[in-house]
Chains A and B, each alone.
Chain A
């Protein structure tokens, strides 16, 4: 007996504390160095960015026309742009804007997407078909029109930018949650809940949604980068945040126009943008690997 189950013999008397799925996942995540590094980077950057408007308000708009564009120096760590504005402030402020857009839009899309997908997946049948057809239609809508319309009718407020972007990012989330819920539906604990007479709403809210949160978390970390890129794309079309505010998208766009003369205008925002997306991607990958129960442990 000892030979067959060496572990049991070794630790006889000790009971290994059980680990829930979450603790297990967290443990695995911590071991993924890239994911951890990514998470720390984003965290620190977010802190710095969100503190900037509080610590040095308006610094991103301060022009110094005579100075013009200068390279990195002691006075300006990231140099200045063509209006003599300090790039460090602008990049950090841009981070504040871009991360806010990313988070807010992701929040909107998660809330809408999860509810939509869970309801559609669980209720099935006719309702599911209609809801999914609606998704198809929205998918086919020209997004640019939609955003132009919102921004035109209601003004270029940044909150509307969040909502407009979030309003078209929920589609994939809804599909994924729906798929997940549909496979969960077939499991026994749901049968049990139904047998117990729980109302549908309770089942959806208390049982379905908590069980999809894992996959939602993964996709949420992946929505943020695509939302940030979407914001950059809108800036390219001239629909980004209102000047003199800067987002990383607008900074990168402007920087790319003078990348030969003033490369620092592109390099710094580009670097931060890319590193943030990198980090979020690694974090997302790490989450996926951590939550994938079939991945081998060696």
Chain B
């Protein structure tokens, strides 16, 4: 039966349906001012900042994203030069170093103020260091202070009197720090947020300063001494800071504010950039790198970054307990192809662990990529052409680039060496657990330098070191690293590192793959933002140059 009466009313219905669909899009019609255009006018910087910050308390957090925000709210003894990150005066306007290079005396400026008007004193730094080293706070970055005399002992409940730790408040504006060893990279250590001062009175107002759970980091409560103050914090939405009226160097600060957007997904971040919502992104998704390099080369920035991507090898289980198998695997990788065809982010193939040029150190021992030699080693170990070698498990945590590299390597090892590899993807926590308990065979790892010195890359591999996680132990290596720590002469020290890294490369408890670069997108009006190897950009030098160039239509 056909219900064909009153076709008209139904036709009318369909028509109105179509109109309604169009109407629902109407509020969007027409070009509007983009967010960056508005922000340029107001001199507000819009930053894509990755994940939502866990907190903004410098003694408790560990992430890079949190650090980026805290850099605007707090300032340490030293600050950094925006171009090459060398230490420049921060709260400390000058400092003296003792001849044995173990005692640093900092002279604080008199006009440094907290955002509530109180002056910043040496005591504020002393209180902060006491807080971060107090075991009950459970700070994960307390180890940054272990170069200081007795700091480790205090943190691990060895001693209970903080006055025995190598910090001394000489007077309101003088702080003295005593180290265990001459540590040439000490000043760049101070750039890290674990060395920031704390307004302990504010922390105490909202909770116990030596326990977690003090809710002092909210807007309206937060007291910092940096160029900006916290004005808004909406979880998973935005963190906003505004120029501080009490900062001692406020004359130099040109931005009126910064908005940090926690955008987790790289694809969403890239789209936001294209839609004119961000001035600078944190990263760029793999698939878009070529697109920007070809179409908008002035917007994509590829800069060196202090980090190495490598695979850890569990040396406690056969067949990987045999050094020759490890070396064979390391030699059979075509790093150039990986970097050029897969990663495309201008990364450098890594033939050793420490990135070249780290504080003037470039390792001379290089891994050779040599298929013939690799095959010979594998055969010598008893597995000619991979026969008899059980399937090796390659573990990685969930991220697209990790997976892509693992897939490529799996094929390389199969075709070149006849080695069968099975890929295992675990989510982050499980992956950490598996790694720590040495339940893996090969697993993906990386290390971003905490400070600009080869030590941060090389002291990981000490016997029983917390970041070793391979079961590798070499007494000679341990001895060399300890020797380096005690060597005062910088050149000699680097030579010791050369010897140590030579051992590391020979034993291959880790297979270096590539050196990181930092790839991000930046709008042309962003100025004062220089490429640095730690990706630190002191905000007081940043500004937005509003001229015709800014109206770049991005399609």
In the bound complex, CA of A65 to CA of B404 (Å) = 11
Determine if A152 and B341 form an interchain contact, defined as CB atoms under 8 angstroms apart: no
**Provided the pairs A63-B411, A152-B430 are in contact, do residues A82 and B404 lie with their beta carbons within 8 angstroms?**
yes
* Binding stretch for chain B, among A224-232, A256-264, A283-291: A256-264
In the bound complex, CA of A68 to CA of B290 (Å) = 12
Complex interface: chain B residues within 8 A of A152 (CB): 426-427, 430
In the bound complex, CA of A155 to CA of B342 (Å) = 28
Those of A82-109 within 8 Å (CB) of chain B: 82-84
Chain B 338-358: CB-based contact to A (< 8 A → 1; otherwise 0) = 100110000000000000000
From B267, B288, B337, B406, contact of A243 by CB (8 A): B406
In the bound complex, CA of A296 to CA of B426 (Å) = 55
Is chain A's binding surface mostly helix, strand, loop or mixed?
loop
Determine if A257 and B267 form an interchain contact, defined as CB atoms under 8 angstroms apart: yes
Determine if B410 and A68 form an interchain contact, defined as CB atoms under 8 angstroms apart: no
Determine if B407 and A61 form an interchain contact, defined as CB atoms under 8 angstroms apart: yes
In the bound complex, CA of A262 to CA of B400 (Å) = 17
B320 CB within 8 Å of chain A: no
Determine if B342 and A244 form an interchain contact, defined as CB atoms under 8 angstroms apart: no
**Provided the pairs A63-B411, A66-B341, A261-B291 are in contact, do residues A82 and B424 lie with their beta carbons within 8 angstroms?**
no
- Chain A, residue nearest B341 (CB): A65
Determine if B342 and A238 form an interchain contact, defined as CB atoms under 8 angstroms apart: no
**Provided the pairs A63-B411, A242-B424, A296-B1 are in contact, do residues A261 and B341 lie with their beta carbons within 8 angstroms?**
no
In the bound complex, CA of A16 to CA of B431 (Å) = 70
**A171 CB to nearest B CB, Å:** 26
**B399 CB to nearest A CB, Å:** 8
From A66, A155, A238, contact of B398 by CB (8 A): A238
From B288, B291, B404, contact of A83 by CB (8 A): B404
A185 CB within 8 Å of chain B: no
**B2 CB to nearest A CB, Å:** 10
**Provided the pairs A148-B427, A257-B285 are in contact, do residues A66 and B337 lie with their beta carbons within 8 angstroms?**
yes
Complex interface: chain A residues within 8 A of B338 (CB): 65
**Provided the pairs A82-B342, A156-B425, A238-B427 are in contact, do residues A261 and B287 lie with their beta carbons within 8 angstroms?**
yes
In the bound complex, CA of A82 to CA of B403 (Å) = 12
Complex interface: chain B residues within 8 A of A155 (CB): 424
Complex interface: chain B residues within 8 A of A296 (CB): 1
B408 CB within 8 Å of chain A: yes
B302 CB within 8 Å of chain A: no
Determine if A82 and B286 form an interchain contact, defined as CB atoms under 8 angstroms apart: yes
A200 CB within 8 Å of chain B: no
**A159 CB to nearest B CB, Å:** 15
**B306 CB to nearest A CB, Å:** 27
In the bound complex, CA of A191 to CA of B550 (Å) = 83
B496 CB within 8 Å of chain A: no
Please classify how large the interface on chain A is, using the bins under 10, 10 to 19, 20 to 34, 35 or more: 20 to 34
In the bound complex, CA of A298 to CA of B338 (Å) = 64
- Chain A, residue nearest B291 (CB): A261
In the bound complex, CA of A261 to CA of B291 (Å) = 7
Those of A103-145 within 8 Å (CB) of chain B: none
Those of A148-162 within 8 Å (CB) of chain B: 148, 152, 155-156
In the bound complex, CA of A65 to CA of B430 (Å) = 30
In the bound complex, CA of A257 to CA of B400 (Å) = 11
- Chain B, residue nearest A85 (CB): B407
**A30 CB to nearest B CB, Å:** 23
Determine if A244 and B410 form an interchain contact, defined as CB atoms under 8 angstroms apart: yes
- Chain A, residue nearest B336 (CB): A65
B423 CB within 8 Å of chain A: yes
Determine if A261 and B288 form an interchain contact, defined as CB atoms under 8 angstroms apart: yes
Those of A221-254 within 8 Å (CB) of chain B: 238-239, 242-244, 254
**A63 CB to nearest B CB, Å:** 4
**B347 CB to nearest A CB, Å:** 14
**Provided the pairs A238-B425, A243-B425 are in contact, do residues A65 and B342 lie with their beta carbons within 8 angstroms?**
yes
* Number of inter-chain CB pairs below 8 Å: 63
In the bound complex, CA of A82 to CA of B410 (Å) = 16
A201 CB within 8 Å of chain B: no
Select the residue from A66, A239, A244 with max chain B CB neighbours within 10 A.
A244
Complex interface: chain A residues within 8 A of B403 (CB): 243
In the bound complex, CA of A157 to CA of B198 (Å) = 49
In the bound complex, CA of A268 to CA of B403 (Å) = 22
- Chain A, residue nearest B397 (CB): A238
**B441 CB to nearest A CB, Å:** 14
**A252 CB to nearest B CB, Å:** 14
Determine if A83 and B424 form an interchain contact, defined as CB atoms under 8 angstroms apart: no
Those of B404-424 within 8 Å (CB) of chain A: 404, 406-408, 410-411, 423-424
A62 CB within 8 Å of chain B: yes
Select the residue from B337, B403, B410, B411 with max chain A CB neighbours within 10 A.
B411
**B554 CB to nearest A CB, Å:** 13
Determine if A244 and B430 form an interchain contact, defined as CB atoms under 8 angstroms apart: no
Complex interface: chain B residues within 8 A of A261 (CB): 287-288, 290-291
Complex interface: chain A residues within 8 A of B287 (CB): 82, 257-258, 261-262
In the bound complex, CA of A298 to CA of B1 (Å) = 7
Chain A 47-65: CB-based contact to B (< 8 A → 1; otherwise 0) = 0000000000000011101
Determine if B423 and A243 form an interchain contact, defined as CB atoms under 8 angstroms apart: yes
Those of B449-495 within 8 Å (CB) of chain A: none
**B344 CB to nearest A CB, Å:** 9
Determine if B341 and A244 form an interchain contact, defined as CB atoms under 8 angstroms apart: no
**B395 CB to nearest A CB, Å:** 11
Chain A 67-93: CB-based contact to B (< 8 A → 1; otherwise 0) = 010000000000000111000000000
Complex interface: chain B residues within 8 A of A242 (CB): 423-425
In the bound complex, CA of A243 to CA of B403 (Å) = 7
In the bound complex, CA of A9 to CA of B404 (Å) = 76
Complex interface: chain A residues within 8 A of B410 (CB): 61, 244
In the bound complex, CA of A238 to CA of B265 (Å) = 13
**Provided the pairs A61-B410, A63-B408, A243-B407 are in contact, do residues A260 and B291 lie with their beta carbons within 8 angstroms?**
yes
From B398, B423, B426, contact of A244 by CB (8 A): B423
**Provided the pairs A66-B337, A262-B287 are in contact, do residues A83 and B425 lie with their beta carbons within 8 angstroms?**
no
- Chain A, residue nearest B407 (CB): A244
- Chain B, residue nearest A239 (CB): B427
What are 25 of the A-B contact pairs (CB < 8 Å)? A61-B410, A63-B411, A65-B334, A65-B337, A65-B341, A68-B341, A82-B286, A82-B404, A83-B404, A84-B341, A155-B424, A156-B426, A238-B427, A239-B427, A242-B424, A243-B403, A243-B406, A243-B407, A244-B410, A244-B423, A257-B400, A261-B288, A262-B287, A296-B1, A298-B1
Known: A82-B342, A148-B427. 16 other contacts (CB 8 A): A62-B411, A65-B334, A65-B337, A66-B337, A66-B341, A83-B342, A152-B427, A242-B424, A243-B407, A243-B425, A244-B410, A258-B287, A258-B288, A260-B291, A261-B287, A261-B290
Measured CB to CB, the residues of A under 8 A from B are 61-63, 65-66, 68, 82-84, 148, 152, 155-156, 238-239, 242-244, 254, 257-258, 260-262, 296, 298
Measured CB to CB, the residues of B under 8 A from A are 1, 267, 285-288, 290-291, 334, 337-338, 341-342, 398, 400, 403-404, 406-408, 410-411, 423-427, 430
**10 closest pairs, A vs B, by CB?**
A258-B287, A238-B398, A65-B341, A63-B411, A65-B337, A244-B407, A243-B403, A243-B423, A257-B287, A152-B430
